[in-house]
């Protein structure tokens, strides 16, 4: 990706389809090499579409026997994969998916959890479980694939994820399917388990609107069934989900955790309190410069509960990806 793309692209066949709202890009399915079971392929992606791309599905090439259930996990790193193959801490897991193998050199569809890539440069890592990825040795003329929305540049592989030795160049065999434009919803999803408070109520977090890096407002988090007149706040992770015991409840995000301003729940009955936050307004404030389009966030509510053994309470959690 850090080469003379204009000259290289002119000599390469493009494999892509696109419409006003969706498209795809294919590399190849003529492998001459492959990794170990559980191995990983790395490559770079330049997202050219100004609206960003929401990745919805992948086709992969695997040596797993026909009918074998496989799973993949997708990681991203800002900038480039090159030099980061053994730096696990630099990567973020952004999606997982499952499929049934169609055998070597035949596309195996994998329905992945949608994830957004905003305009810009990324390293991509694709890890496979219950199978081995097939790929093609780089030849200098088969490593770049491009259409109007994305440029892909290949690539390396490791037999054990994020662990040397690094094999290069290696061209990932596959197809990336995506949507763009107004199709981005941020895919908010509730997860994790709330702690029942001392009044016997279970706090619940919900969201309305679409998380956006540019809207300035309109994505509102609300947590109800809270104790009345108690201090509390929203806190969030940018690194992943969690399910760890904490203060008598469950901590739903991984460290580091970022706290937002303290607020009062209000209310006049034991469980009539609530907290609310327009996360788009928080993003627009610039308080956290890392909250940009494409960033996935995991949010939970913490509040005071003086009558509980820990004197605190935790809600369930919500995760979403910030749209452009």
Tens of pLDDT, residues 142-158: 999 999 999 999 999 99
SS3 86: coil
DSSP code per residue over 34-61: E--TT-EEEEEEEE-STT-EEEEEEEE-
Within this chain, do residues 196 and 165 fall inside the same structural domain, yes or no?
no
Domain termination site, one of 154, 183, 212: 183
- Distance CA(38)–CA(72), nearest Å, equals 9
Within this chain, do residues 162 and 31 fall inside the same structural domain, yes or no?
yes
Count of structural domains within the chain: 2
Within this chain, do residues 143 and 21 fall inside the same structural domain, yes or no?
yes
Within this chain, do residues 165 and 26 fall inside the same structural domain, yes or no?
yes
Residues in the chain: 324
Q: State pLDDT tens for residues 247-277.
A: 999 999 999 999 999 999 999 889 999 999 9
Cα separations (Å) of 71 from 42, 84, 95, 160, 301? Answer: 17, 23, 11, 16, 32
- Distance CA(38)–CA(127), nearest Å, equals 7
Within this chain, do residues 92 and 133 fall inside the same structural domain, yes or no?
yes
Q: State pLDDT tens for residues 182-238.
A: 567 888 999 999 999 999 999 999 999 989 888 899 999 999 999 999 999 999 999
Q: pLDDT at position 182, please?
A: 53
Q: Which domain holds residue 122?
A: 5-183
Please report, for the domain that includes residue 149, its CATH number. 2.60.120.820
Is residue 307's pLDDT more than 90? Answer: yes
Within this chain, do residues 171 and 30 fall inside the same structural domain, yes or no?
yes
């Amino acid at each position: 990706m850090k080469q003379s793309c204009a000259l290289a692209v002119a000599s390469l066949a493009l494999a892509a389809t696109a419409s006003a709202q969706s498209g795809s890009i294919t590399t190849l399915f003529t492998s001459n090499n492959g990794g170990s079971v559980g191995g990983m392929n790395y490559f770079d992606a330049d997202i050219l579409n100004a609206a960003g791309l929401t990745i919805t599905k992948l086709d992969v090439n695997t040596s797993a026997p026909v009918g074998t259930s496989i799973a993949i996990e997708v990681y991203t790193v800002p900038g480039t994969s090159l030099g980061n193959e053994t730096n696990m801490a630099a990567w973020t897991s952004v999606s997982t998916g499952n499929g049934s193998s169609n055998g070597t050199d035949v596309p195996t569809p994998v329905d992945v959890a949608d994830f957004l890539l905003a305009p810009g440069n990324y390293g991509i890592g694709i890890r496979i479980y219950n199978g081995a990825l097939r790929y093609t040795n780089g030849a200098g003329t088969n490593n770049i694939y491009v259409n109007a929305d994305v440029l892909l540049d290949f690539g390396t592989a490791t037999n054990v994820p994020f662990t040397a030795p690094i094999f290069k160049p290696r061209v990932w065999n596959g197809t990336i399917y995506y949507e763009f434009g107004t199709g981005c919803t941020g895919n908010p999803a509730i997860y994790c388990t709330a702690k029942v408070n001392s009044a016997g109520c279970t706090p619940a977090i919900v969201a309305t609107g679409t998380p956006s890096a540019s809207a300035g407002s309109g994505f509102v988090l609300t947590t109800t069934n809270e104790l009345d007149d108690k201090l509390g706040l929203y806190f969030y992770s940018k690194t992943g989900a969690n399910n760890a015991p904490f203060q008598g409840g469950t901590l739903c995000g991984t460290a580091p955790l970022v706290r937002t301003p303290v607020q009062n729940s209000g209310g006049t009955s034991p469980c009539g309190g609530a907290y609310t936050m327009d996360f788009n307004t928080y993003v627009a404030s610039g308080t956290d410069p890392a909250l940009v389009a494409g960033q996935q966030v995991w949010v939970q509510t913490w509040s005071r509960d003086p009558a509980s053994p820990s004197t605190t309470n935790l809600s369930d959690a919500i995760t979403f990806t910030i749209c452009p």
